[in-house]
């Protein structure tokens, strides 16, 4: 009898916990994540540290961005990468390579699945600009602690076929609405990518990642680190920077 009573109490607690998560909460959390990550205009300098099986490489870059649709990336270091640029306009992506080639290449189709500069990030990952709430349905599975932060655990399923990942699992900070941990899956259920945010910083009333890692689970290595060295928001960015002509300047 005591065991039965204990079981009923546990079941009751479980139901109470579920009742605290209202219907549609997952969709609302996704909208708040989207609102938090949208940037009007920004200029940033970042370092990418690639921990591959052949060794460690460090690449420094400067990014001019406007919303989720426009971005110009200029690589600053090391010397062999200096001067290379990438331009993203909506669903289009171009790469400029200076001497000795001095050419502009369009990245599309199967090329989007290739690695960016040998990192764990693909061009397809970089091109992702649509809001999560537009691409995925979300269900809240509960709450868990991650890095001493209370998080919503969300399961995302694709709304349509033309997305890179069929499903995702997010650990979303309940206060800051940042996905502190993420797993990305294929339709088969195979884990493809992992991402983790290790450090954040506040800007006005929002929070942004400062230090994170991204890991391609299909390749060897310890993943790729991304560190934001500096970022300025609301700066004036000339329109010409978001043109193909700017790649050669």
Q: Which residues, in sequence order, are CB contacts of 143 under 8 Å at separation 6+?
A: 150, 151, 152, 153, 174
* Domain contains 240: yes
* Domain contains 137: yes
**Percent of the chain as helix, strand, coil, to the nearest 5:** 20, 50, 30
Cα–Cα–Cα angle for 215, 218, 219, rounded to 5 degrees: 75
Rounded to whole angstroms, how far apart are CA atoms 227 and 209?
8
Cα–Cα–Cα angle for 122, 123, 129, rounded to 5 degrees: 110
* Domain contains 35: yes
Q: H or E element: which one contains 199?
A: strand 191-203
Q: What is the CATH number of the domain that holds 92?
A: 2.50.20.10
* Domain contains 4: no
CA dist list (Å): 33 to 84, 157, 170, 217: 32, 16, 11, 25
pLDDT mean for each 10 residues of the chain (249 residues): 42 44 81 86 95 93 92 95 94 90 90 92 83 92 94 95 93 95 97 96 86 95 95 90 91
Write out the residue range of the structural domain in which residue 36 sits: 23-248
Sign of CA dihedral 118, 212, 91, 234: negative
* Domain contains 7: no
Sign of CA dihedral 188, 191, 192, 198: positive
Whole-number pLDDT of residue 129: 67
* Domain contains 96: yes
* 97 burial via Cβ count (<10 Å: 0-12, 13-18, 19+): middle
Rounded to whole angstroms, how far apart are CA atoms 167 and 248?
39
Provide the token pair at 39.
């940037």
Whole-number pLDDT of residue 24: 77
* Domain contains 190: yes
Rounded to whole angstroms, how far apart are CA atoms 107 and 94?
6
Whole-number pLDDT of residue 21: 67
Contact yes or no for 187/200 (Cβ under 8 A): no
Number of separate domains in the chain: 1
């Amino acid at each position: 009898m005591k065991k039965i009573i204990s079981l009923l109490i546990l079941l009751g607690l479980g139901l109470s916990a579920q009742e605290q998560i209202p219907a549609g909460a997952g969709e609302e959390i996704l909208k708040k994540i989207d609102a938090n990550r949208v940037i009007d205009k920004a200029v940033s300098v970042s370092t990418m540290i690639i921990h591959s099986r052949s060794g460690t490489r460090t690449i420094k870059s400067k990014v001019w961005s406007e919303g989720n649709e426009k971005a110009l990336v200029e690589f600053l270091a090391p010397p062999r990468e200096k001067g290379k640029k990438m331009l993203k306009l909506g669903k289009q992506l171009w790469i400029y390579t200076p001497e000795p080639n001095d050419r502009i290449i369009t990245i599309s189709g199967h090329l989007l699945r290739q690695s960016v500069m040998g990192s764990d990030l693909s061009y397809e990952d970089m091109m992702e600009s649509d809001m999560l709430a537009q691409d995925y349905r979300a269900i809240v599975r509960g709450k868990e602690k991650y890095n001493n932060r209370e998080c919503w655990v969300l399961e995302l399923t694709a709304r349509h076929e033309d997305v890179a990942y069929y499903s995702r699992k997010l650990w979303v900070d309940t206060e800051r609405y940042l996905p502190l941990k993420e797993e990305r899956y294929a339709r088969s259920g195979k884990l493809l990518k992992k991402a983790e945010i290790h450090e954040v910083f506040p800007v006005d009333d929002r929070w942004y990642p400062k230090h994170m890692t991204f890991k391609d689970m299909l390749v060897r290595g310890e993943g790729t680190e991304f560190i934001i060295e500096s970022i300025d928001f609301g700066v004036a960015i000339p329109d010409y920077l978001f043109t193909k002509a700017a790649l050669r300047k």
